[in-house]
């Protein structure tokens, strides 16, 4: 049975255009093959920002501009991981973004999958050693995604001297990911392939203490990046804004085709078809392509800070990080009032997606969430995925992304934004700070929030000493 669709004729134009063209794959090919990783501080990042702004202007968007973001960038140098005893051997590795230059000798402590309870139990043993832990997202006894940042943070809190992140997928090499929260990290962090992590694990099991040396020449320095912003101005209530966004920077070892560029081109494609078929809209739809997400959500954080006075006017921020690499559901960050509306839209659009309530800290919705803005994302259920797969490795390449998934994400985002811009009675408004804190203090989020507050305080203290 079909539900009456008041936007049927616009929907048909949007879906028809998106599914009969190749624009998002063409744009993705340029972003990945011409500009490379687009990592913060590279020439490819600057060219990508210019290209995106050019495309949005060409598609007829208004007020297309770049907003500068000052930040601390990181440049990869040489790195060496040597086993000193009981054998001598060099192991291939990469440093993690914002790792400091290092010359460190210490014993490894094998923390396996890095369960928070194990960090508590073995705290006394960790001090002065190099923590080795893997990328398994649900260590034994946990239901939350225990992120790399949390495992690194727990290593810091227990006085570790260094950090080795072992990828848990065979054949994908090391997995990268930032450890600095936007500035030089206090202790060095490196990643090794699963096979090399398993070797180190066996060596420790068989021989007892394993001492290693990590030397690296990475550098951090002040730099400038860009958020690219473009509008479809509203006709009746131009001050009220619906936002779609995704970062465009990838990790330096990768094309970042799935994460994030598949989502970035879906945002751009949604902009193209909304400008062509849905304008003028009653309210403004704003498109944001964020810089430097991968090293601390720096672009979106800067936007939330710079535009603090306008945040009350944002009806919803829809995050699309990596959204064009898979089929998605619509997740909202603890806004039950939006559930029936989104479910009704799914029916009227005759588009099958689940609507879920979720919250995680590791993409560009989070600075908006913290500021109380209604947020959500086009996401697959991360907890069911088992982890990032080839994401954050050198194998996140263009050949993995399918045009079908780019089209699905683009059309879904455009049709949702169309409805958000038209809906007369919007059921949610910006939260007070205390309400946000109460959500973070609810039983399912408490452990993660308490721990992040502690780590943030320690990082602050270390940066001043």
Select the span of 216-224, 319-327, 347-355, 441-449 touching Zn ion (CB under 5 A). 319-327
Pick 218 or 259: Cβ nearer Zn ion: 259
Pick 40 or 260: Cβ nearer Zn ion: 260
Select the span of 73-81, 117-125, 255-263, 334-342 touching Zn ion (CB under 5 A). 255-263
Pick 17 or 259: Cβ nearer Zn ion: 259
Nearest to 326 by CA among 258, 279, 428, 377: 258
Q: Give the span between the Cα atoms of 212 and 195, in whole angstroms.
A: 17
Nearest to 353 by CA among 376, 375, 369: 376
| 127 Cβ contact list (under 8 Å, min separation 6) | 158, 159, 160
Is residue 379 involved in binding Zn ion (CB under 5 A)? Answer: no
Residue 31 CB, nearest approach to Zn ion (Å): 13
Binding mask 107-146 for Zn ion (x = CB under 5 A): ----------------------------------------
Q: Give the span between the Cα atoms of 153 and 52, in whole angstroms.
A: 35
Residue 23 CB, nearest approach to Zn ion (Å): 21
| 317 Cβ contact list (under 8 Å, min separation 6) | 243, 245, 365, 368, 373, 374, 375, 376
Select the span of 4-12, 109-117, 232-240, 254-262 touching Zn ion (CB under 5 A). 254-262
Per-residue burial over 27-63, b if 16 or more Cβ lie within 10 Å, else e, is: bbbbbbeebbbbbbbbebbbbbbebbbebbeebebee
Residue 131 CB, nearest approach to Zn ion (Å): 25
Position among 23, 259, 379, 396 found at the interface with Zn ion (CB under 5 A):
259
Residue 289 bridge partners (DSSP) = 228, 246
Pick 97 or 100: Cβ nearer Zn ion: 97
Position among 321, 329, 348, 408 found at the interface with Zn ion (CB under 5 A):
321
Select the span of 47-55, 232-240, 313-321, 446-454 touching Zn ion (CB under 5 A). 313-321
Residue 317 CB, nearest approach to Zn ion (Å): 15
Select the span of 3-11, 225-233, 303-311, 317-325 touching Zn ion (CB under 5 A). 317-325
Residue 45 CB, nearest approach to Zn ion (Å): 14
Position among 153, 180, 260, 367 found at the interface with Zn ion (CB under 5 A):
260
Burial of 25 (0-12, 13-18, 19+ CB in 10 A): buried
8 A C-beta contact, residue 130 and residue 104: yes
**Measured CA distances, 138 to 88, 143, 192, 330, 335 (Å):** 33, 6, 19, 23, 25
Residue 319 CB, nearest approach to Zn ion (Å): 9
Angle value at C-alpha 60, between 55 and 66, nearest 5 degrees: 55
Q: Give the span between the Cα atoms of 26 and 8, in whole angstroms.
A: 28
Judged by CB under 5 A, the number of residues near Zn ion is 3
Select the span of 12-20, 260-268, 343-351, 376-384 touching Zn ion (CB under 5 A). 260-268
Residue 289 CB, nearest approach to Zn ion (Å): 12
Pick 194 or 392: Cβ nearer Zn ion: 392
Pick 197 or 256: Cβ nearer Zn ion: 256
Residue 345 bridge partners (DSSP) = none
Q: Which residues bind Zn ion (CB under 5 A)?
A: 259-260, 321
């Amino acid at each position: 049975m079909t539900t009456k669709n008041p936007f049927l004729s616009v929907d048909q134009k949007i879906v028809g255009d998106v599914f009969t063209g190749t624009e998002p794959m063409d744009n993705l090919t340029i972003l990945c093959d011409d500009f490379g990783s687009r990592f913060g501080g590279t020439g490819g990042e600057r060219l990508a920002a210019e290209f995106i702004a050019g495309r949005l202007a060409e598609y007829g968007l208004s007020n297309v501009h770049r907003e500068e973001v000052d930040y601390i960038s990181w440049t990869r140098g040489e790195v060496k991981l040597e086993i000193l005893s009981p054998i001598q051997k060099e192991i291939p590795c990469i440093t993690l973004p914002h790792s400091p230059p290092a010359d460190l000798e210490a014993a490894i402590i094998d923390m396996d999958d890095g369960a928070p309870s194990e960090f508590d139990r073995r705290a006394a043993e960790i001090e002065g050693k190099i923590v080795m832990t893997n990328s398994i997202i649900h260590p034994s006894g946990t239901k939350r995604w225990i992120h790399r940042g949390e495992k690194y943070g727990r290593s810091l809190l227990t006085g570790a001297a260094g950090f080795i992140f072992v990828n848990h997928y065979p054949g994908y090499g090391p997995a990268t990911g930032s450890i600095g929260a936007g500035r030089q990290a206090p202790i060095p962090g490196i990643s090794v392939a699963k096979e090399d992590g398993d070797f180190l694990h066996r060596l420790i099991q068989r021989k007892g203490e394993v001492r290693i040396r990590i030397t690296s020449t990475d550098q951090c320095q002040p730099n400038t990046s860009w958020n690219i912003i473009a509008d479809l101005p509203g006709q009746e209530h131009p001050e009220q804004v619906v936002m779609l966004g995704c970062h465009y920077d990838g990790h330096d070892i990768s094309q970042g085709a799935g994460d994030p560029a598949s989502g970035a081109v879906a945002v751009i494609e949604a902009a193209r078809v909304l400008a062509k078929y849905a304008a003028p809209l009653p309210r403004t739809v704003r498109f944001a392509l964020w810089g430097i997400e991968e090293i601390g959500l720096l672009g979106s954080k800067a936007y939330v800070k710079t535009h603090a006075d306008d945040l009350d006017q944002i009806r919803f921020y829809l995050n699309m990080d990596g959204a064009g690499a898979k089929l998605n559901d619509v997740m909202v960050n603890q806004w039950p009032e939006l559930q029936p509306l989104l479910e009704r839209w799914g029916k009227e659009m005759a588009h099958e997606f689940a609507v879920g309530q979720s919250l995680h800290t590791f993409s560009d919705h989070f600075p908006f969430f913290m500021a109380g803005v209604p947020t959500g994302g086009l996401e697959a259920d991360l907890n069911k995925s088992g982890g990032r797969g080839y994401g954050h490795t050198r194998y996140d390449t263009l050949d993995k992304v399918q045009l079908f998934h780019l089209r699905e994400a683009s059309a879904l985002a455009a049709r949702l934004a169309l409805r958000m811009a038209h809906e007369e009675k919007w059921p949610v408004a910006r939260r007070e700070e205390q309400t946000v804190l109460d959500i973070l203090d609810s039983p399912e989020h408490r452990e993660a929030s308490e721990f992040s507050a502690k780590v943030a305080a320690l990082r602050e203290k270390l940066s001043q000493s």
